[in-house]
Amino acid sequence: MRAFLLVVLSAAVALADPLDDALARAGLTRDDLGWRPKGYWSRYPADIPWKLRHFDDVLAEPVAGVNFTRTLGNSAKAFLSPEALGKPAEKSDGALYRAAFALGVERKTGSFRAYSANLTAADTDLVDALIRAHEFAGRPPKLVTFGQESPYPNLRKDLEKACAVVPGAARPALGRLVLNALDAQLWVQRAWRNVPLEKRVAASRRVDLGAELTDALDYCPEIDDCGRGWDETSLWYAGLKAVQALDEARLALDSLLKIPPFAFDWESPLGWVRIRGTGDDAIDAEGAWLVVDLGGNDTIRGPAGAADAVRQLSLYLDLAGNDRYESVGPAQGAGLCGVGILLDAAGDDVYKADRCSQGFGQLGFGLLADLAGKDSYAVHYSGQGCGFLGIGELLEGAGDDSYTLWSDGQGMGGAGGVGTLADRAGNDTYVAVRDPEVTGRPSYHSALKVAVSNAQGCGMGRRGDGADGHSWAGGLGALLDAEGDDSYSAGNWSMGTGYWFGTGVLWDGAGNDAYHGCVWSQATGAHFCIGILVDEAGDDLHLAEDTANNSLAFAHDFTVAVLVDAAGDDLYEIANGGIATSINRSVALLLDLAGDDTYRIHDGLRPGMAPFDEKYRDRTGGATYFADATSCAVFLDNGGTDSYSPARDNNAFWLDEKDSPNPSVRNWSVGEDREGGAVNLDPRPEKNPKK
């Protein structure tokens, strides 16, 4: 009987959820992870504006951050697939519109669901549509004086002459695009009806917020004024309409890729309308409201698809060809107090810009979508999916792509913003340049020898408590890569990292990947924030290089840091301070769910450490929130034959030493290597209310 009970007990242990089992060894459950700050926590930062709606709940339920991250990855995988984007016009369900919604707008507000962008325009001749654009801007189509129509200018006559170069087969779809763009323009203007133009101009010209944010160096009051006065829901509606309008035009014009070269230019009251055929064109995007290029290997200079406080909408559509985009100022899908979108459907393209480009939103909506090809992206500051109180998205379809950045991007959510870089397929390379001599951004966490990257899934806020008191909560920065053998390289603050009420996430869906980080890299954060990295499959390298520390699930000062590697034979290596380390009341989780893994860490340290600090029980001062809170570090390797340096046994567990004061102050260190089992990382079910 005793033997039978032992067998049953052993089977029950084997079937137990490994994470629940590891926590139970310390007398914990998942409900012991995380916290909800209390109003009586003196000196705990409060009244922080622009905090996103997910933040408090993930802080209270850290494991739910995994599901939150996976929903982003699932959306990128579904909506950016070749099958979804390649449906013909009559069968399309708006995959690109749905991607822009799920990866940007939905994370900023819960006021929409992705039913439709509600476009109503029908095919219309280009001449008639452009006349409507003049009327929209308050310009009469006919000029009458002394009781008679002036012989010049004659808007219809002049437009008919100019539009004669545009092939008749293309004119109805182009006209429809113009009308849909007017619909988006209307909603942009509504968004800013309560904010004076001079404040919008000041906010849109502040193109250095990435450098200013972290330590609150140079306050811009117009940012606060615009953020309190705009109707952002109307602006997101305008952005969604513009995305859908361009995508519908892409599908409608897809059959016209063999028409001869031509050039159409018209200066409307809203800005230039430029349409090109299939030649190899040189296009000037300065002052453009709408540009459509049907093909050819083109060179585009200037603010392609870039909007600001004055030109509030700017759209660019390129259907085919190996194109080269170059700009110094904001460009290539940038919205600064406006909506700016660039959609490139095919070709091996090159994108180069200095700042605020390639999917950038600052109090606006900026999107760069490149659906196919082997593409190269380079921007210095603030781009490749970057948002400051706005939405910036870079959405990539298929192809082996390369991304290079100096700082603030590749999925960076600045104050109150959402910045997303989503790449659907290909073996991709992501580089945030480490050399501060190049970037001009040395980090004091690395003796000024490594650059501040703020990249590759990074949420950064404005910490004003040591300066002018104007704190802004960080936003959501997300880097999502669905397939391929990918390489990630960055300096400090990268790869799923947060700072000051920001959230940074990195999700990789498949492939053998290499993560080369420095300090604050790969599921980390400091000062009231969230950092998450989820790698679903493959044999991966998780490296903290250049004698780095504070990485690989490292959480400091009320931070949630979660690193999940779901499968594969992986290598984790760090010189000091990492592999599930919690300090100053934080939650750090490193969960490797399968595979034969290798861990290399500094002598004297172990995976899963929450060092004791005397302030955890100090109630003699004016603030006691460190004594009131809880904290935990959990390391779990599930399955496989694993190797540890310093040496550690497989199928073993370790906790705080017996004489440790940690349990008395609700601070726990948990580590376990076990044979296997199924880890459930779903959010805990909502409890039924008491009847």
pLDDT one-digit tens code per residue, 75-107: 999 999 999 999 988 888 899 999 999 999 999
pLDDT above 70 for 14:
no
Query: How many domains, in total, are found in the chain?
Result: 1
Q: Structural domain of residue 521, as residue ranges?
A: 409-677
Per residue in 543-601, pLDDT (tens digit) is 999 778 899 999 999 999 999 999 999 999 998 888 999 999 999 999 999 999 999 99
Mean pLDDT lowest among 34-43, 289-298, 408-417? 34-43
**Torsion angle, CA of 110/112/115/121, rounded to 10 degrees?**
-160
Neighbours of 1 (CB within 10 A): 5
| Residue 12: pLDDT band with limits 50, 70, 90 | very low
Least Cα distance to 14 among 669, 651, 649 occurs for 651
pLDDT above 70 for 4:
no
| Residue 24: pLDDT band with limits 50, 70, 90 | very high
Q: Is residue 165 part of a domain?
A: no
Q: Is residue 631 part of a domain?
A: yes
What is residue 687's predicted lDDT score, i.e. its pLDDT? 66
* Three-state secondary structure of 345-359: CCCCCEEEEEEEECC
| Residue 11: pLDDT band with limits 50, 70, 90 | very low
The single-letter code of the amino acid at 113 is R
pLDDT above 50 for 507:
yes
Contact 359, 383 (CB under 8 A): yes
Q: Is residue 452 part of a domain?
A: yes
Q: Is residue 157 part of a domain?
A: no
Per residue in 322-364, pLDDT (tens digit) is 999 999 999 999 999 999 999 999 999 999 999 999 999 999 9
pLDDT above 80 for 691:
no
Q: Is residue 516 part of a domain?
A: yes
Span 256-277, mean pLDDT? 94
| Residue 688: pLDDT band with limits 50, 70, 90 | low
| Residue 10: pLDDT band with limits 50, 70, 90 | very low
pTM of the model: 0.96
| Residue 289: pLDDT band with limits 50, 70, 90 | very high
Name the pairing type of β-strands 667-674 and 554-556.
unpaired
Q: What is the mean pLDDT of the chain?
A: 94
What is residue 103's predicted lDDT score, i.e. its pLDDT? 98
Least Cα distance to 422 among 93, 72, 68 occurs for 72
Contact 473, 55 (CB under 8 A): yes
Mean pLDDT lowest among 148-152, 499-503, 586-590, 627-631? 148-152
What is residue 626's predicted lDDT score, i.e. its pLDDT? 95
* Three-state secondary structure of 473-533: CCCEEEEEECCCCCEEECCEEECCEEECCCEEEEEECCCCCEEEECCCECCEEECCEEEEE
pLDDT above 90 for 45:
yes
Proportion of the chain above pLDDT 70, given as a percent: 97
pLDDT above 90 for 8:
no
Angle at 569 between CA 568 and CA 573, to 5 degrees: 120
Q: Is residue 461 part of a domain?
A: yes
DSSP secondary-structure letter at 569?
Answer: -
Span 12-38, mean pLDDT? 88
Q: Which residues of 163-196 are buried (b: 16+ CB within 10 A; e: fewer)?
A: beebeeebbbbbbbbbbbbbbbbbbbbebbeebe
Tokens at residue 594, please?
Answer: 């399968």
Q: Is residue 378 part of a domain?
A: no
What is residue 259's predicted lDDT score, i.e. its pLDDT? 86
pLDDT above 90 for 6:
no
What is residue 355's predicted lDDT score, i.e. its pLDDT? 98
What is residue 214's predicted lDDT score, i.e. its pLDDT? 85
Q: State the Cα–Cα distance between residues 132 and 140, nearest whole angstrom.
A: 10
Per residue in 428-477, pLDDT (tens digit) is 999 999 999 999 999 999 899 999 999 999 999 999 999 999 999 999 99
| Residue 2: pLDDT band with limits 50, 70, 90 | very low
Q: Is residue 367 part of a domain?
A: no
Per residue in 125-178, pLDDT (tens digit) is 999 999 999 999 999 988 888 988 888 899 999 999 999 999 999 999 999 999
pLDDT above 70 for 689:
no
Helices (H), 218-258: 221-229, 232-253
Span 629-655, mean pLDDT? 96
pLDDT above 70 for 690:
no
Q: State the Cα–Cα distance between residues 302 and 317, nearest whole angstrom.
A: 15
What is residue 380's predicted lDDT score, i.e. its pLDDT? 98
Span 611-620, mean pLDDT? 95
Contact 341, 317 (CB under 8 A): no
